[in-house]
């Protein structure tokens, strides 16, 4: 009992340490000059709100189409190359949204290969390009849900006289709605977090407003209030998603026979290939080939020493933050399972909100919190050294991506009954030994999944790194952005390509692990 109480205190201390900057930002927002808020409402807030909502709607619409339709055909039809197509449909997740935007803005410009005079730097085009990068969130959850449908559902639909398309609309999609909504929620959060692409396209969103207020206007009050408004928006969306998915779960019972894959005739195969190859070509092959061509054309200008240095920087910060997130997430989730304490339950619920907080808000919250602490006493000098700024950057990554590491581990731990714990305790094993000998081995795929997803997200992260990076410390993401924003797209391609290659390799390994764990129907 004493051990549990001590662990509860440690958990509360960690929670306060990790999320206090967000709470401090909210408190700080109520103490700002009202003139700033009046200026925002009169001149900027409406524009930021309309653009942000419109961009979210466009991206969500195209992400749903590109994600759901291919997932349905891959999950239910047998055709040549099915496994390869399934794998490649995940890989656009390895391409950051800003790289997708830089690629197509160059291809569709007057100076590009097609000499197009029409201005494609429009918010509608940006929404489609963001969907190219983000649809794998919806594809992955739809793919899992569609793969686990039992034949009983289809038999009942046939008995009711429903054809294939009616079955999809009236049976499959309603049952898959919780999974699809969870994927859509991630898409919306990524759009709200986006900075590089919207900056390049000149679209005024809340994230742009935060950066502009903080850097260009040097108005911390406006930046704080914009951050707080955006924070309330994402919190509202978070609880809406929780409400709609409450008590709605699709579970597959092992005594339910999975529906077999449908054979397809030539016309159906042609349709499937067209539907699947469109996102593969537009969202993966074109960006990859474009960057490779640029690398060959600007090969002599590549600074390989700097490339290796930035690759090392990106790899180092991603690995350190990923491992720390894995450790802390496991600590919270494992102790919740072992102690059944409400403390851990509420902490884990709050952690889930972390990923919905845009990177610019997290970075601003950390900056304000640390500088306020540094100014409390002249004897306290937190800022100044490279190591402190480096730790602050890692700290912000932990706040932002804790929920990403938590989700796979939580899903895996929930599969195993409490009888495992009781049997192990009867054998005299401590909680640590139970984790070491039982839960770690049987959840190794979940831990690898969590580590990989967090690593990939941090490797692509731009807003937090731009704001909090130490002096003279760049990553592949920041260098890509800086070259692209200066209209030096060819020089940015080598850095973009390294990000894509590293993330692709990790996602391929992740897909292989998921296939081994029988998440998908083969």
Residue 41, pLDDT above cutoff 80: no
Q: What is the 3-state secondary structure (H, E, C) of 14-49?
A: HHHHHHHHHHHHHHHHCCCCHHHHHHHHHHHHHHHH
- Which has the closest alpha carbon to 359: 396, 314, 313, 403? 396
d(CA 397, CA 405): 11
What pLDDT score does 266 carry?
86
Q: What is the pLDDT of residues 124-142, one digit of tens each?
A: 999 999 999 999 989 988 8
Q: What is the pLDDT of residues 273-288, one digit of tens each?
A: 999 999 999 999 999 9
What pLDDT score does 57 carry?
94
Tell me the average pLDDT across 58-80: 91
Tell me the average pLDDT across 185-200: 87
What pLDDT score does 253 carry?
47
* pTM of this structure: 0.84
Residue 161, pLDDT above cutoff 80: no
Work out the percent of the chain whose per-residue pLDDT is above 90: 25
What pLDDT score does 159 carry?
76
What pLDDT score does 120 carry?
75
* Residue given tokens 């809406």 in the structure block: 240
What pLDDT score does 32 carry?
63
Would you say 136 and 233 are in contact if contact means Cβ atoms under 8 Å apart? no
Residue 258, pLDDT above cutoff 90: no
Most confident listed range (5-9, 41-45, 485-489): 485-489
Higher pLDDT: 117 or 472? It is: 472
Most confident listed range (57-71, 102-116, 193-207, 415-429): 57-71
What pLDDT score does 78 carry?
87
Tell me the average pLDDT across 372-394: 77
Residue 1, pLDDT above cutoff 50: no
Under DSSP, is residue 184 helix (H, G, I), strand (E, B) or coil? helix
Tell me the average pLDDT across 64-84: 90
What pLDDT score does 405 carry?
80
Rounded to the nearest 5°, which phi and psi values hold at 49? -65, -50
d(CA 462, CA 56): 19
- Which has the closest alpha carbon to 49: 209, 184, 181? 209
d(CA 135, CA 59): 9
Would you say 291 and 496 are in contact if contact means Cβ atoms under 8 Å apart? yes
Would you say 373 and 424 are in contact if contact means Cβ atoms under 8 Å apart? no
Which residues, including other chains, have CB under 8 Å from residue 106's CB and lie 6 or more apart?
112, 290, 489
Tokens in use for 313?
């920087």
Which DSSP category does 438 fall into? I
- Which has the closest alpha carbon to 360: 186, 188, 484, 215? 215
What pLDDT score does 250 carry?
47
Which residues, including other chains, have CB under 8 Å from residue 157's CB and lie 6 or more apart?
166, 167, 170, 171
Work out the percent of the chain whose per-residue pLDDT is above 70: 87
Higher pLDDT: 508 or 172? It is: 508
Q: What is the pLDDT of residues 463-509, one digit of tens each?
A: 899 888 888 899 999 999 888 888 788 888 999 999 999 999 999 98
- Lowest-pLDDT range, 9-18, 107-116, 286-295, 497-506? 107-116
Tell me the average pLDDT across 189-204: 88
The mean of the pLDDT values for the chain is 82
Q: What is the pLDDT of residues 17-35, one digit of tens each?
A: 877 888 887 777 777 665 6
What pLDDT score does 51 carry?
92
Would you say 28 and 36 are in contact if contact means Cβ atoms under 8 Å apart? no
Residue 255, pLDDT above cutoff 50: no
d(CA 343, CA 8): 7
Domains in the chain (CATH in brackets) are 1-31+319-459 (1.10.3720.10), 48-294 (1.10.3720.10)
Question: Could you tell me the pLDDT band of residue 349, with boundaries at 50, 70 and 90?
Answer: confident
- Lowest-pLDDT range, 301-315, 334-348, 362-376? 334-348
Most confident listed range (35-39, 72-76, 243-247, 263-267): 72-76
The gap from C-alpha 194 to its chain's centroid, in whole angstroms, comes to 11
Give the chain's largest Cα–Cα span: 78
What pLDDT score does 2 carry?
45
Residue 11, pLDDT above cutoff 80: no
């Amino acid at each position: 009992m004493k051990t549990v109480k001590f662990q509860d205190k440690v958990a509360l201390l960690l929670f306060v340490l990790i999320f206090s900057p967000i709470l401090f930002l909210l408190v700080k927002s109520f103490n700002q000059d009202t003139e700033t808020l009046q200026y925002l409402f009169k001149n900027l807030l409406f524009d930021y709100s309309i653009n942000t909502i419109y961009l979210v709607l466009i991206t969500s619409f195209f992400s749903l189409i590109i994600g759901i339709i291919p997932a349905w055909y891959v999950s239910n039809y047998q055709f040549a190359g099915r496994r390869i197509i399934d794998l490649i449909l995940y890989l656009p997740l390895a391409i950051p949204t800003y790289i997708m935007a830089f690629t197509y803005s160059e291809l569709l410009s007057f100076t590009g290969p097609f000499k197009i005079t029409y201005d494609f730097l429009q918010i509608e085009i940006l929404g489609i390009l963001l969907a190219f990068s983000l649809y794998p969130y919806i594809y992955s959850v739809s793919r899992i849900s569609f793969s686990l449908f039992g034949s009983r559902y289809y038999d009942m639909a046939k008995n009711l006289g429903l054809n294939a398309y009616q079955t999809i609309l009236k049976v499959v999609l309603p049952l898959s709605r919780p999974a699809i909504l969870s994927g859509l929620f991630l898409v919306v959060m990524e759009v709200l977090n986006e900075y590089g692409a919207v900056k390049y396209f000149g679209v005024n969103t809340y994230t742009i407003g935060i950066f502009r207020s903080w850097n260009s206007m040097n108005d911390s009050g406006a930046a704080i209030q914009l951050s707080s408004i955006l924070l309330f928006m994402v919190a509202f969306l978070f609880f809406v998603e929780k409400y709609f998915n409450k008590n709605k779960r699709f579970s597959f019972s092992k005594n339910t026979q999975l529906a077999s894959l449908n054979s397809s005739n030539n016309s159906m195969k042609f349709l499937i290939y067209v539907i699947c190859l469109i996102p593969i070509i537009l969202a993966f092959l074109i960006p990859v080939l474009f960057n490779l061509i640029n690398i060959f054309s600007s090969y002599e200008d590549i600074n390989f020493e700097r490339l290796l240095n930035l690759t090392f920087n990106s790899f180092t910060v991603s690995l350190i933050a990923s491992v720390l997130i894995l450790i802390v997430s496991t600590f919270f989730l494992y102790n919740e399972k072992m102690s059944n304490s409400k403390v851990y339950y509420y902490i884990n619920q709050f952690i889930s909100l972390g990923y919905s907080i845009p990177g610019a808000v997290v970075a601003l919250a950390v900056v304000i919190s640390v500088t306020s602490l540094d100014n409390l006493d002249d004897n306290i000098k937190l800022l100044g050294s490279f190591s402190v700024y480096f730790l602050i950057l890692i700290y912000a990554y932990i706040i932002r991506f804790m929920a990403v590491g938590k989700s796979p581990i939580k899903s895996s731990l929930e599969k195993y009954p409490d009888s495992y714990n009781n049997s192990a305790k009867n054998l005299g094993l401590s909680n640590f030994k139970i984790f070491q000998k039982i839960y770690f081995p049987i959840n190794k795929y979940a831990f690898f999944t969590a580590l990989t997803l967090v690593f990939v997200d941090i490797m692509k992260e731009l807003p937090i790194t731009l704001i909090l990076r130490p002096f003279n410390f760049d990553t592949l993401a920041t260098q890509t952005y800086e070259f692209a924003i200066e209209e030096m797209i060819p020089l940015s391609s080598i850095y973009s390509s390294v990000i894509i290659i590293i993330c692709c390799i990790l996602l391929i390994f992740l897909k292989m692990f998921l296939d081994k764990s029988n998440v998908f129907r083969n």
